[in-house]
Amino acid sequence: MSAVNFWGKMLNVDRRWIFLLIGVVSIVPFLIPVGMPLTTTTEVESIYDCIDSLGPENAIFLAFDFDPGTDAENMPMSVAVMRHAFFRHVPVFMTAYTPLGNGMMMSGFEYVTNQELPGCYTPVDYADWATYRDAGIVDRDGLVAAWEADGHSLPENSVGWVFEGRDYALLGYLPLFHLVILGMTSSIEAQYPEDSHGNPLVEMPMLREHKSLREVDLALTMAGSSACMSWIIYGREKIGLPIAFGVTAVMATDYFPFIQSHQIIGQMGGLRGAAEYEVLMERNGVSATTDKAFTGMDVQSAAHLLIILLIIMGNVAYFAGGFHKQHLMKSGR
């Protein structure tokens, strides 16, 4: 009986102790980083290779289809892809599925262009390079040359210029986004006459070159909900637009059938997927260092071990204490 009491007491421990445990396990590895190596999987590599094969003549869509709640998982992958595209000078159209996603798009762009962080990109607002545009200088190399010839130089931390309307366009949120995707299959500008800064899309060089989703080479949806399916149902199935997923870990397992059916070219699942992308970028010289996702992997390791230990201990206590016999009903699932 006393044994039962012991196990019972153990199981009924105040859960705040367990909270404390997981808190400690999640903080300590940050202070003592190990940086265990991470292997990459084909699901992520195929996205990386796809973007790596593109250049200034191509274009991608980066869809911020998540809310602040899953910021920690979706933001690192969005940031990684954005950096990779900027590095390869691939024009990036950015959209959002929800109003809150609009804010996430802004915040992701602000992070990549934060001049205080090493490895950032320096944005040039659409209005600031109007004179060059009017003079007909719209190809990337010519634009950078002309811009730098006029005395502009890259700030200390920056690794490159990005011109609004040439290298990126912040399109933002529209309601009933699945219809927006459908509409963009014939014309992007018809859906977004202006970007979220109020610049007319019709004048943007990147739009002149990519007028509809038919002329876009990849759409990446960074999703925290089933919003990503809209890109398949309305983009992929309508005009064959190649799609890649960046989804939260909770959803990731559901979309393996779509990889096997080639409806998506690849998938980043949760923080681990983002960390793999960062590793690929560092390995190939796209970025100097890895970022937040990879740093988080140590904690992820420690926390997974702790949770597995807790499950084992809990079950030992449960069965050793004989609690499994308490339910009078025939055993269920």
Partner 1 sequence: MKRTVPLIIVMVGGILMMIQYFIPHQASQAVFDYYTEWAPIVGAFALVLGVGSLTRVHFHRIRRRSKNWPYSLAVLIPLYAMPILGLMVPVSLWGGMESPSIFHFLFMHIQVPIQSTMFSLLAFYIASAAFRAFRAKSALATVLLGSATIVMLAQVPIGEIFGPGLQDVGLWILRFPNLAAKRAIQFGVGFGILATSLKIIFGVERNWLGGAGE
Partner 2 sequence: MSYDLIGIWVAALFTLAIYSFLYKENPLYRLAEHLVVGISAGYSIAITYDIVVGPKLVDPLIAGTGWVLLIPGILGLLYITRFMPNVAWLSRYPMAFIMGTSMGVGFPLTMKAEVLRQLEAAMAPIYAAGMPWHIVLGNLVMIFGTLAALIYFFFSKPHKGIFFGTGSKVGIWVIMLGFGATFGFTVMGRISLLIGRIQFLLGDWLHLIK
Partner 3 sequence: MRTSSTRYVPAALVLLLFPALSAAQAIEPVVARDSVENTTLPADTIASGTVEPQEEPAAVIDAPGAVTVTDSPNDAGDQLTLTFEPSTETETLFCHTVYRRIAGEGDESWLPVSIIPAGDPSELVDGLDPDYPIVPGVQYEYRIAVQTLDGLEVMGPVTPAQAVAEGEYYHTGKTRALIASSIFIFMIFYYFSRAQRGVQFYLRPIAGIEAIDEAIGRATEMGKPILYVPGLSSISDVATIASLTVLSRVAKKIAQYQTRLIVPNRDPIVYTVADECVKQGYLEAGRPDAYDPESVFFLTDSQFAYVAGVNGIMMREKPATNFYLGMFWAESLLLAETGSLSGAIQIAGTDAVTQLPFFITTCDYTLIGEELYAASAYLGHEPKQIGAVKGQDACKAIIMGFITLALVLTVVDLAAGTHTLDWLRQLMTMSVMD
Binding residues (CB under 8 A) for partner 1: these are: 11-13, 15, 18-19, 21-23, 26, 36-39, 41, 67-72, 100, 103, 107, 110, 174-176, 179-180, 182-183, 253-257, 260, 272, 297-298, 300-308, 310-311, 313-315, 318, 324, 331-333
Q: How far is CA 220 from CA 62, 85, 231, 232, 276, in A?
A: 5, 11, 9, 11, 16
- Phi and psi at residue 267, to the nearest 5°: -150, 135
Element (H, E) at 206: helix 205-209
Contacted entry of partner 2, partner 1, partner 3, none for residue 59, CB cut-off 5 to 8 Å set by kind: partner 3
Classified as helix, coil or strand, 29 is helix
Kindly list the strands in the beta sheet with 218-223, ordered across the sheet, starting from the edge strand earlier in the chain.
Answer: 168-173, 92-96, 60-65, 218-223, 243-247, 267-269
The verdict on 272 binding partner 3 (CB under 8 A) reads no
Neighbouring C-beta atoms of residue 146, cutoff 10 Å:
15
Contacted entry of partner 2, partner 1, partner 3, none for residue 232, CB cut-off 5 to 8 Å set by kind: partner 2
Nearer to partner 3, 120 or 169 (CB): 169
Residues 41, 46, 122, 196: which binds partner 2 (CB under 8 A)?
196
Residues 72, 146, 239, 265: which binds partner 2 (CB under 8 A)?
72
> Are the C-beta atoms of 202 and 127 separated by less than 8 Å?
no
Residues in contact with partner 2, shown as a per-residue x/- string from 110 to 149 under the rule CB under 8 A: ----------------------------------------
Q: Which of residues 47-66 bind partner 3 (CB under 8 A)?
A: 57-59
Distance CA 166, CA 205 (A): 6
> Are the C-beta atoms of 83 and 280 separated by less than 8 Å?
no
- Per CB under 8 A, the segment of 81-89, 169-177, 184-192, 277-285 that binds partner 3 is 184-192
Structure letter (DSSP) for residue 331 = P
- Phi and psi at residue 212, to the nearest 5°: -145, 170
The residues of the shown chain that bind partner 2, judged by CB under 8 A, are 16, 19, 22, 26-27, 30-31, 33, 69-73, 75, 98-100, 102-103, 172-176, 178-179, 182, 193-194, 196, 229, 232-234, 236-238, 248-250, 252-254, 257, 260-263, 269-272, 292, 295-296, 299-300, 303-304, 307
